[in-house]
Amino acid sequence: MKKVSIIGSTGSIGCQALDVAYNNPDKIKIVGLSAGKNIELLIKQVKEFQPKVVSVSSVEHAGLLQKEFGASKGIDIYHGSEGLLAVAGCEDADIVLTAVTGTVGLAPTLKAIESGKDLALANKETLVAAGPLVMAEAGARGVKIYPVDSEHSAIWQCLNGEDTKALSRLILTASGGPFRNLPQKEMDAITPEQALKHPNWNMGSKITIDSATLMNKGLEVIEARWLFDVDFDKVDVLVHPQSIVHSMVEFIDGSVMAHLGIPDMRIPIQYALSNPHRWPNNLPKLDLMQVAHLTFERPDLDRFPCLKLAYQAGRIGGTMPAVLNAANEVAVERFLRKEIAFTDIPKTVSRVMEKHQRVASPTLEDILQADRWAREAAYQF
């Protein structure tokens, strides 16, 4: 029985993780849930899974939970940043799934590591902003980090049992998003409604916009560098519109291992929780005859400069990846509010990166300060 805490239970990944838990009641026990403002959904989740620790963003919502469940239910209710840390450090948890987006996931991730909990990591921004710190802390405490992103889960599975010295390169696949074939001159007119229509995946709004700009793939490149301890020159990206090959690993003898499957996040979520075992499920199986064709192409870095910016930030290192991530979060938020154009997202990120004075070997406080500075600079731009 795996005892699991979920940071971000009402988001896309959190809901799909709870679907996995619901279908495996003899294998998974939910002991902690944290959410933001979707109090109605959280109440339903608490009733269904009866966790021991629950957290929400505001004191008002915590009061609603207290009124709904009270002390008689044996549920500890928290709110705000203290609540995130309480769920992440829940004494009963064996593993913590971080399923929030953005650097809000950094503090609970570090708290889970400090508490000796293994991690199922769906919050890529944590490793983008603070990869060296997070991996060093996990290594020092013997904490295992299991990737949940479909691409990193694919690489993890392809490398299982292999000698990493025989690794030649990692190949991350990208769907290309909804604008893969859109003429560049039409990209200024892209609306949030259009950008939120991902052709293959069901994801939250921020990740969906990042997929449309290819920033999501750039963040995954930086995440892969830290998860698998490889140089950026050994991480490539290929556009694969069918989203059937989730990623590949090339070895020094020329062999290439690929992980294939239907585009459904419940599969990598389940594997992160079930590892080293595999559990059956009721999801559709991959029918290659129905797929028929698998195609690959190089990403167009002129039309999608966010991917190029991510490589640049990763290679510069220090506080620059945190600045890339923070500026992008602000730009995406403003695009969703229709305050800037789709093509202003990479322009904003690029301008903020140009202004940043990098700290080469940052502490956690340096990273948080760079994050705050980048957000303010992005708003000003």
Which among 169, 155, 156, 152 is positioned nearest to 223, based on CA atoms? 152
CA quadruple 92, 94, 100, 106: dihedral positive or negative?
positive
Phi, psi of 170 (to 5 degrees): -100, 140
What residues are paired with 169 via a beta bridge? 250
pLDDT at residue 103, as a whole number: 86
Residue 88 tokens, joined: 């992440």
- The two tokens of residue 179 are 């604008």
Q: Which of 306, 320, 337, 308 is nearest to 374 (CA)?
A: 320
- Alpha helix positions (H), the chain: 12-22, 39-49, 59-69, 80-88, 106-114, 124-141, 150-159, 192-195, 205-213, 215-227, 266-274, 288-291, 305-316, 320-336, 344-355, 364-380
| β-pairing verdict for 145-147 and 118-121 | parallel
What is the C-alpha separation between 89 and 120, in angstroms, rounded?
Answer: 14
Tokens 């556009």 found at: 239
pLDDT (tens, 9 = 90+) of the chain, 381 residues, equals 999 999 999 999 999 999 999 999 999 999 999 999 899 999 999 999 999 999 999 999 999 999 888 766 789 999 999 999 999 999 999 999 999 988 889 999 999 999 999 999 999 999 999 999 999 999 999 999 999 999 999 999 999 999 999 999 999 999 998 999 999 899 999 999 999 987 776 677 898 999 999 999 999 999 999 999 999 999 999 999 999 999 999 999 999 999 999 999 999 999 999 999 999 999 999 999 999 999 999 999 999 999 999 999 999 999 999 999 999 999 999 999 999 999 999 999 999 999 999 999 999 999 999 999 999 999 998
Cα separations (Å) of 22 from 16, 29, 49, 331?
10, 9, 8, 36
Which CATH superfamily groups domain 2-147? Answer: NAD(P)-binding Rossmann-like Domain (3.40.50.720)
pLDDT for 381: 87
Cα separation, 121 vs 126, in Å, equals 9
DSSP assigned state of 169: E
DSSP calls for 267-285 = HHHHHHHHTTS-----SPP
What is the model's pLDDT at position 330? Answer: 97
Helix (H) or strand (E) holding 34: strand 28-34
Question: Nearest-5° angle of CA 56, CA 60, CA 64?
Answer: 80
Domain ranges of the chain: 2-147, 152-316
299 in Cβ contact with 307 (< 8 Å):
yes
Helix (H) or strand (E) holding 121: strand 118-121
* pLDDT at residue 76, as a whole number: 93
pLDDT at 71: 65
CA-based nearest residue to 212, from 362, 376, 345, 98: 345
Which residues are CB-neighbours of 168 under 8 A, at least 6 positions away? 234, 250, 251, 252
C-alpha torsion 58→62→65→70, nearest 10: 180
